[in-house]
């Protein structure tokens, strides 16, 4: 049985790392299974082998290699180097390059994670070649088709044979879309595997920014928030006001940095309470936000990570595909207006915070469950 594991963009790397670790652990446990590593590409005894494909959707050191180093992911067997482009161009380039890999490797199964363009592109290629597709983080739905990720999620799930679900809403969503019970596996949240694994490994990782006193952390990169000039100015205006009460540390995504430079926003923050940082490696970022009083974000994964750590989170969006973080966790949807963000912050200042609890199966063992299920399917 040969697996191809696909990762392409920053939020994929923390999802693929625990799968690789679980595959390695399983191979030790089951002596008859031999996994082919980079260093011995054609291990003679292997019943199960895997190779890692990095599409190159993200390519800056801070967005890619820093995560491989931090998360101890071995060098990819294939680097497709597709880079940036419009959605069609990027998705098409990934498809063309990944199809070549599939022809060469003839895998039995392709494992894709998350909801980025690399996820949908590789799922589509595999399915058309008759290769089984496993999707990790299946079933999440925002019902907002203006989000490219929602399209990616829906198409990927439609094509997938094995659907690994992180929260219960995913089971219902997939059933409503006609997926069979036998293809859906509620395994818990793989992001949280990486979170717990790395919480104990922070000692020698560096971080930028604060450490004394209270502070907030901001991330912002969604095109709908950062591409329109007025929207970005409005959101950053609200953040600036929050900064006068609570210093804000802001690792800036390259897309956002570029937009801020174009509209002359970057210099406005010099010496002020909103501290712009470069994109941080996984452990440095974790070290920064784990002690924050408040996180503001439009990311998907950070909504989950803050829920797991019990940190209040303001999600700067109108909707979320991760409703368990609202219903059970510490997440609040504050919308995308300056007024919405500031009125939520007023409540926060009065101590009106959600306490939250950790959702079911967010226990650091999702990857073990996924690998056990995949091995059962192989038998
Ligand atoms: C992608 C994902 C998004 C995810 C985000 C995390 C899709 C549709 N979107 O969005 O779901 O939350 O990654 O970061 O797949 N760029 C660089 N260096 C890089 C990568 C990107 O400078 O290493 C810049 C380029 O200008 C590029 C832009 O960022 O055009 C956008 O990159 P892209 O991968 O298209 O989408 P993201 O906004 O990063």
Q: What is the 3-state secondary structure (H, E, C) of the chain?
A: CEEEEEECCHHHHHHHHHHHHHHHHHHHHCCCCCCCCCCCCCCCCCCCEEEEEECCCCCCHHHCHHHHHHCCCCCCCEECCCCCCCHHHHHHHHHHHHHHHHHHHCCCEEEEECCCHHHHHHHHHHHHCCCEEEEEEECCCCCCCCCHHHHHHHHHHHHCCEEEECCHHHHHHHHHCCCCHHHEEECCCHHHHHHHHHHCCCCCCCCCCCCCCCCEEEECCCHHHHCCHHHHHHHHHHHHHHHCCCCEEEECCHHHHHHHHHCCCHHHHCCCCEEEECCCCHHHHHHHHCCCCEEEECCCHHHHHHHHHCCCEEECCCCCCCCHHHHCCCEEECCCCHHHHHHHHHHHHCCCCCCCCCCCCCCCCHHHHHHHHHHHHHC
- Each residue's pLDDT expressed in tens, for the chain with a length of 379 residues: 789 999 999 999 999 999 999 998 887 666 444 444 444 554 444 467 899 999 999 999 999 999 999 999 999 999 999 999 999 999 999 999 999 999 999 999 999 999 999 999 999 999 999 999 999 999 999 999 999 999 999 999 999 999 999 999 999 999 999 999 999 999 999 999 999 999 989 876 666 655 678 999 999 999 999 999 999 999 999 999 999 999 999 999 999 999 999 999 988 888 889 999 999 999 999 999 999 999 999 999 999 999 999 999 999 999 999 999 999 999 999 999 999 999 999 999 999 988 899 999 999 999 999 999 988 875 5
Residue of 91, 254, 300 with the most ligand 1 atoms within 8 Å of its CB, for mutation:
254
* 223 CA to centre of ligand 1 in angstroms: 9
Q: The tokens of 251 are what?
A: 């690792």
So where are the chain's domains?
Answer: 2-188+363-378, 216-349
Q: For ligand 1, what atom is nearest to the CA of residue 57? A: 34
> Rounded distance, CA 55 to CA 78, Å?
8
Q: What is the position in ligand 1's atom list of the atom closest to the CA of 9? A: 13
Burial of 197 (0-12, 13-18, 19+ CB in 10 A): middle
Rounded to whole angstroms, the Cα distance separating 66 from 372 reads 29
Does ligand 1 come within 6 angstroms of the Cβ of 227?
A: no
Q: Does the CB atom of residue 55 touch ligand 1 within 6 A?
A: no
Q: What is the pLDDT of residue 45?
A: 46
Question: Same CATH topology for 2-188+363-378 and 216-349?
Answer: yes
Residue pair 340/333 in contact (Cβ under 8 Å)? The answer is: no
pLDDT for the residue numbered 198: 96
- CA 261–ligand 1 middle distance (angstroms): 17
pLDDT at 142: 98
322 lines ligand 1 (CB under 6 A): no
58 catalytic per annotation: no
Report the pLDDT value the prediction gives residue 44, as an integer from 0 to 100. 43
**What's the CATH number for 2-188+363-378?**
3.40.50.2000
Which residue is associated with the tokens 């290629």? 125
Question: Cβ of 244: how many Cβ atoms within 10 Å?
Answer: 11
Instruction: Provide φ and ψ at 274, rounded to 5°.
Output: -105, 110
What class is the 216-349 domain?
alpha beta
- Which pLDDT belongs to residue 203? 72
């Amino acid at each position: 049985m040969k697996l191809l594991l696909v990762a392409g963009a920053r939020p994929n790397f923390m999802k693929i790392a625990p799968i690789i670790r679980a595959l390695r652990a399983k191979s030790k446990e089951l002596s008859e299974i031999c996994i082919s590593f980079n260093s011995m590409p054609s291990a003679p005894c292997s019943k199960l082998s895997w190779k890692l494909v990095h599409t190159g959707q993200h390519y800056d050191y801070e967005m890619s290699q820093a995560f491989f180093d931090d998360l101890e992911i071995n060098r990819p067997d294939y680097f497709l180097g597709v880079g940036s482009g419009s959605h069609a161009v990027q998705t098409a380039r990934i498809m063309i390059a990944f199809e070549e890999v599939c022809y060469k490797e003839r895998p039995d199964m392709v494992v894709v994670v998350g909801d980025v363009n690399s996820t949908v592109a590789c799922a589509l290629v595999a399915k058309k070649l008759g290769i089984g597709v496993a999707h990790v983080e299946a079933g999440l739905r925002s019902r907002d088709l203006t989000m490219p990720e929602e399209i990616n999620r829906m198409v990927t799930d439609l094509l997938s044979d094995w659907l690994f679900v992180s929260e219960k809403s995913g089971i219902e969503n997939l059933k409503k879309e006609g997926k069979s019970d036998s293809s859906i596996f509620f395994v818990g949240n793989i992001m949280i595997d990486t979170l717990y694994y790395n919480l104990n490994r922070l000692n020698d990782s560096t971080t930028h920014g604060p450490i004394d006193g209270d502070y907030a952390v901001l991330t912002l990169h969604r095109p709908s928030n950062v591409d329109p000039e007025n929207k970005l100015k409005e959101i950053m205006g609200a953040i600036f006001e929050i900064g006068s009460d609570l210093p804000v540390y802001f690792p800036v995504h390259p897309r956002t940095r570029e937009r801020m430079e174009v509209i002359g926003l970057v210099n406005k923050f010099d010496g002020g309470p909103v501290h712009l940082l470069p994109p941080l490696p996984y452990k440095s970022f974790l070290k920064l936000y784990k002690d924050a009083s408040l996180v503001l974000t439009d990311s998907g994964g950070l909504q989950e990570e803050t829920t797991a750590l019990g940190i209040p989170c303001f999600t700067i969006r109108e909707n979320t595909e991760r409703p368990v973080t609202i219903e059970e966790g510490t997440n609040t949807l504050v919308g995308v207006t300056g007024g919405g963000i500031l009125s939520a912050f007023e409540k926060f200042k009065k101590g009106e915070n959600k306490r939250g609890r950790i959702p079911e199966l967010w226990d650091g063992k999702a990857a073990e469950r996924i690998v056990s299920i995949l091995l059962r399917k192989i038998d």
